[in-house]
Structure 1
Amino acid sequence: MTGLYSRPLVQVILVGIVLLLTSGMFNALNGMGGGGQLDTKMASNANVALYTTFSVGGLVAGGIVNIIGPKYAMAIGGTTFALYAGSLLNYNHNKNDAFVIAAGALLGLGAALIWTGEGAIVTSYPSEKNKGKYIGIFWGIFNLGAVLGSIIPLVLNWNSKEGSVNDGTYIGFLVLMSLGSLSALALLPPSKVFHKDGRAVAVERFPSWTSESIKIMKLFLDWRMICLIPMFLASNWFYAYQFNDVNGFYFNIRTRAFNDIWYWIAQIFGALVFGKFLDTPLFGRRQRAIFGLLILFFTFMATWIGGLIFQLTYRRSDTITPMDLFDRGFYKAIQSAGGAISWRIDAVGTAFLPQLLICWILLIVSIPGAMIVALNVKETNYLTDNSADIEKSGIGDGKVGSGDNNELATTF
């Protein structure tokens, strides 16, 4: 098959749609604070379970994807998102914390599968000159899911006076997440994906679990990975603070959803612009990495300074009337990623100000290590796009494991 459907860009777009309907919808639900519930502690503990199993599952997901292929791995992983939405629907009636936490743990394993499959495709299908653009396109489509997902609770809960979203909201998420799992089955195996000129996409396939395990273990000894550990931690740290302690604590239901819409729209434009910048031929790869980090540094410094000014106006112990979309003094919180440790910190009732300072300091600390890596960026990943040490996907079943991601991550 050499038609349009077998082109890398089309397949990347399909991956974006899968993530739009699964992880993108989850981000919309999570971004409302407390999973749309008044009691944010339950959602925090569910996210602790989620990110804990995600971190462990991420180490073995590559081997699974390598065996069954990204299509089936993403389809299986997608089902756990629907299960999580269903557990929140159940919570609306039974207040069953254990079910939500267990669903969160399973979601962590499913997320490991779906994101490993995504990474294998999005990082290996495009040619080197188009990687930034393809990743930007994927990220834009993926975050469109969170935008659309935020519209659901906004519309269905517009006149609600409750602290939690209604059943229809969770049912809507459950249906869309199920469709996301099914849509993964529309993906082609790597062996049937070709560039416009007929070349097979270049992917790496490890022949055994042993070689896959060795490759993963080597990452823990790679100096570049060690330098990037603070940035890896920072990138998923502040979900808990921004979603629960700002959006969930300070605003009512419809305003949380409204905030979410604009946050994810900003991510879409940010991803597309940044992806285009990282492909620009005006600078070398090392220069693009350095300039990109400097842009990030000044952007998040301005963001967290603004956040600090806002945070000083209220505390966890305060009793407030949640602010509405049309109240005077309206504030739009800037939100981003999250992680298991930060959710647990929030779940045990840590004061708000220390959480803000941790997020801010962690981001600052992440820059030096990332800058060291940027200074050592090579001007190319491969000698050619189809170098001899990379197996073309036309061989065998063409399944892709996380080893492809690992290779890209460690060669820069």
Structure 2
Amino acid sequence: MSDGQAEIDKLGSGSSEDSGSQRAEIFDRPTGWRGFYYHPITQISLLGFVCFMCPGMFNALGGLGGGGQVNPKDQANANAGVYSTFAFFGFFSGSINNVIGPRKTLMFGTWGYSLYIASFLAVNIHPGAGAFVVASGAILGVCAAFLWTAQGSLMMSYPTEAQKGMFISIFWAIFNLGGVVGSAVAFGLNFKSTANSVGNGTYIGFLILTLIGVFLPLFMADPDKMVRTDGTRVNLVRHPSWKTEFLSLFIALKTDPWIILLFPMFLASNYFYTWQFNDYNGALFTIRARGLNNFMYWTSQIFGSIFIGYFVLDQQKVRRRVRAFYGWALVFLMIFVVHVWAYFYQKTYTRTEELAEGAYKIDIYDSNYAAHVWLMIFYGFLDSMWQTYAYWLMGAMSNDPAKLAVFTGFYKCMQSAGAASVWAADGASAPYMNIFLSTWCLTVAGMIFAAPMVYLRVTDHTDIEDEVLMHIEGVERIEPPLITTTEKA
């Protein structure tokens, strides 16, 4: 019996009254170039490059503080628009993904990033076009909801249960290379700049890369044709009616109410970017220092994700439940390390002081620069560990792409609601200290609320009933796959 079949046997034992009569078919994987193309790692890597080109450039731009502008107000208001529409459409994006399919959902989601970056180029040419930036941000929020929902569904459904941490790490490393490359470009182009804002060349470079990302989903495989490395087929992506799929949102909450305990964690997962990028990096540093800080931040994300995903969450010598608690403890510890450190910097400056004309900005050659950039590096570690752990927890709850699309929609909805609120506060010139303390408190609360879910819901193997959304009586039957023991032919 194959290792993959043994995993199915464990998965199916005791999960339903008739589990002994159900069967899960094990498929032969394709060989040759088709075997390479249809390999889950290849497809996750392509998915990573889609996000490298689009959200990666968005992150590189946002990490410069104020989108690389002298006055960060337009960018803060645009981000409030991004995350407001993101939050609204994120709630429904899982349903839309399940109806039209993840590849189309990805393609629809990418083009908003090109529009957003083009708006900053327009402002650089015509300084009075700030309203265009805000409007493009609202449009981007709609697109981003679809892109990230499709991404989460594919990333968590392609690996086997033993590979989920590794696959999340692979995706996160490639995706954050976008931020690394974008930051390196911005740093190089603006190394000799004294204007404290980026030039047109930076925006044009970012725009070209995002346009490449728009077409990359065309080269990805159809999820219905994907077979995991253990021979199990990825559950076919359903294309039900809109009514059925919208009802599945509430079915998911009813059948898996523990997801609600992750909502505070979801809410915090983009909240901390505002202080890091605008109120620390954007407030204290020169433009070239901001570019180098950004480069170090996204580079550290690669290592942070690999560390927690591969070496902690996928450590096969330890049971999955135990790994879940190891991950929780590491993230919780990192929260206090970076925020205690950051507090001693934050209490030394205010918004009024840093926005004053002629205010001192830390440069890469200053003696106090090294200590400040290390804080950015540790914040990058925290962000990647936080996001990887959140995705891993959702992946531990199901292997079905349709159900995971709904979970990811919830994640992105709550994440964006938190981000919209804090970007709006930053646009309204709230004190830096208030934003910092609210960030610290929310991250701690997110982990505390997640702890009972980890204890009560994470099991050593995903149960059969968690593989799919329960069918909806009287509308359309969404039947679970038949699962049981069978020898590979």
The alignment's TM-score, normalised by the length of structure 1, stands at 0.90
Q: Verify the 8 A CA contact 2:101 2:239 in the aligned structure 1.
A: no
Partner of 2:123: 91
* Contact 1:86 1:174 (8 Å CA) reproduced: yes
Q: Distance in 1 between matches of 2:361 and 2:162?
A: 48
> Please, which of 253, 271, 287 is the counterpart of residue 322 of structure 2?
287
Of 407, 428, 446 in structure 2, the residue corresponding to residue 366 of structure 1 is 446
- Cα distance in 2 for residues equivalent to 1:365 and 1:40: 29
* Map of 1:265 onto structure 2: 299
| In 2: Cα distance, 1:315 partner to 1:237 partner | 20
Shift of 1:73: 1.6
CA deviation vs aligned residue, 1:99-119 (integer Å, no higher than 9, x gap): 001110111111111111111
2:313 counterpart residue number: 278
* Residue 122, structure 1, aligned to residue 190, structure 2: no
Letter in 2 for 1:340: A
Matching of residue 245 in structure 1 with residue 291 in structure 2: no
Q: Is the Cα–Cα contact under 8 Å of residues 195 and 201 in structure 1 kept in the other structure? A: yes
Deviation at 1:289, TM superposition (A): 1.3
2:150 maps to 1:111 = no
> Structure 2: which amino acid aligns with 1:264?
W
Do the aligned residues in 2 keep the contact of 1:124 with 1:203 (CA within 8 Å)?
no
Do the aligned residues in 2 keep the contact of 1:125 with 1:203 (CA within 8 Å)?
A: no
Q: State the shift of 1:282 in Å.
A: 2.5
Paired amino acid for 2:300: A
Q: Which of 193, 202, 209 is residue 176 of structure 1 equivalent to?
A: 209
Q: TM-score, normalised by structure 2?
A: 0.76
Shift in Å at residue 203 of structure 1? 4.6
Is 1:32 matched with 2:64? yes
In the alignment, which residue of structure 2 is the partner of 1:231?
265
1:257 CA displacement? 0.8
Q: 1:109/1:87 Cα in 2 relative to 1: closer, same or farther (>3 Å)?
A: same
Query: Which amino acid in 2 is paired with 1:305?
Result: V
Displacement after TM superposition at 1:60 (Å): 2.2
Residue 344 of structure 1 corresponds to 424
Task: Please say if residues 159 and 229 of structure 2, whose CA atoms lie closer than 8 Å, have aligned partners that are also in contact.
Answer: no
Note the C-alpha offset of 1:178.
Answer: 0.5
**1:142: Cα distance to partner?**
0.5
Against the structure 1 CA distance between its residues 383 and 68, is the aligned structure 2 distance closer, same or farther, given a 3 Å change threshold?
closer
Q: 2:363 aligns with which of 318, 321, 324?
A: 324
Q: Distance in 1 between matches of 2:189 and 2:82?
A: 27
- Measure the CA separation in 2 of the matches of 1:90 and 1:46: 14
Q: 1:384 to 1:212 in 2, by over 3 A?
A: closer
On the 8 A contact 2:187/2:291 being kept in 1, the answer is: yes
Q: Which residue of 1 aligns with 2:461?
A: 380
Maintained 8 Å contact 1:125/1:202 = no
Task: Tell me how far 1:208 sits from its aligned partner.
Answer: 2.3
Q: 3-state SS of the aligned residue for 2:182?
A: helix
Aligned alpha-carbon RMSD (Å) = 2.1
Task: Specify every segment of 5 or more residues in structure 2 that has no aligned partner in the other structure, as ranges.
Answer: 1-29, 384-417, 471-479, 481-489
Counterpart of 2:450 in structure 1: which amino acid?
A: A
Matched, 1:255 2:289: yes
Deviation at 1:197, TM superposition (A): 6.0
| Native 8 Å contact 1:239 1:342 kept in 2 | no
Offset of residue 228 of structure 1: 1.5
Counting aligned pairs with the same residue, the percent is 38
**Other structure's SS at 2:352 match:** coil
Q: After alignment, is 112-121 or 299-308 more displaced? A: 112-121
- Aligned ranges for residues 384-399 of structure 1 at < 5 Å? none
Are the equivalent residues in 2 in contact too, given 1:77–1:112 (CA < 8 A)? yes
Cα offset, 1:199, TM superposition: 4.2
Structure 1: which 5+ runs fail to align? 392-403, 405-412
Cα distance in 1 for partners of 2:157, 2:281 equals 37
Distance 2:265 2:186 in 1: 32
Equivalent residue of 1:317, what SS? Answer: helix
Q: Find the aligned partners of 2:36 and 2:144 in 1 and give their Cα distance.
A: 29
Question: Closer, same or farther in 2 for the Cα pair 1:184/1:201, shift >3 Å?
Answer: same
What is the rounded CA distance, in whole Å, between the counterparts of 1:356 and 1:235 in structure 2?
14
Q: Distance in 1 between matches of 2:322 and 2:419?
A: 30
Find the counterpart in structure 2 of residue 394 from structure 1.
none
Residue identity in the other structure for 2:462: N
3-state SS of the aligned residue for 1:339? Answer: helix
Structure 1 CA distance for aligned equivalents of residues 314 and 239 of structure 2: 29
Would the aligned equivalents of 1:87 and 1:100 in 2 still touch at CA under 8 Å?
Answer: yes
Larger Rg: 2
Query: Which AA in structure 1 matches 2:179?
Result: A
Count of equivalent residues: 390
Please give the residue correspondences for 1:159-238 in structure 2 after superposition, counting only pairs within 5 Å: 159-196=192-229, 199-205=232-238, 207-219=240-252, 222-238=256-272
Aligned AA for 2:220?
L
Q: Which amino acid aligns with 1:373?
A: M
Q: CA deviation at 1:384?
A: 11
Q: Following TM superposition, by how much is the alpha carbon of 1:258 offset from its aligned partner in structure 2, in angstroms? A: 0.3
SS at match of 1:380: coil
Pairwise CA distance, 1:383: 4.2
Per-residue CA deviation, residues 38-79 of structure 1 (Å, 9 max, x unaligned), is 111110000000001111111222232223322222122111
